Amino acid sequence: MTNQKKIYIVRHGQTEFNKQSIVQGSGVDTELNEKGKWQAAAFYDYYKNVPFDKIYISSLIRTFQSVNNFISDGIAFEKLSELNEIGWGVFEGKLQDGKQRQHFAELIFEWGKGNFGFSIEGGESILQLMERQKIATQKIFSNPDEKTILICMHGRAMKSLLCILLNKSLSQMEEFEHQNLCLYQLDYDGENFSLVKRNDTEHLNTK
């Protein structure tokens, strides 16, 4: 098949807000902390010989910093705001206290039931996230010359994107666990995606 592709999807490295359990979302543009920079370097060392044709990142700096070593090698990249993290509304920039965690658990429960329009006050629903991600996937997969692609994005956004690519309901999002600078690797045969690596962090155990 002429449109076969290899897709590497990573979550950004750790930020200080990640470390402190402060909600980020699409409206908080934090940089990587020292551990996040170390994670980015470890991922680069492990995968620097993969012949990436293109890198796609969100418009938030933590994704750029996570793959900047590849970009410095001259690999073409493109920022797509459609890959940004979900908007967490009034939660953004706030510490995850007990009340907020309870509200978040209710949100996940509603999404698991199929209530995809449910959202945090002032934030996005998972359905709104998915709809903008469909715009991103059309852009990313429209170029047949890009055979090996690296995408750097965010935790909840990654869960949604994987559901889109693997043809799963958004109610199954929680199947896709993640941590900072983890990797999901997929193969595309021209019609369907298959999962090769899931929440893989082997690259973080070698540096």
SS3 category, 65: helix
Amino acid identity at 150 = L
Quickly state the pLDDT bin for 1 (edges 50, 70, 90).
very low
Q: What is the pLDDT of residues 192-204, one digit of tens each?
A: 999 999 999 999 9
- Distance, in Å, from the CA atom of 72 to the CA atom of 11, rounded to the nearest integer, reads 19
Q: What is the pTM of this model?
A: 0.96
φ and ψ at residue 118, rounded to 5 degrees: -70, 140
CATH of the domain spanning 5-205: 3.40.50.1240
The answer to whether 66 touches 181, Cβ cutoff 8 Å, is yes
pLDDT at 2: 56
Question: Could you tell me the sign of the dihedral formed by the alpha carbons of 198, 80, 140, 41, in that order?
Answer: negative
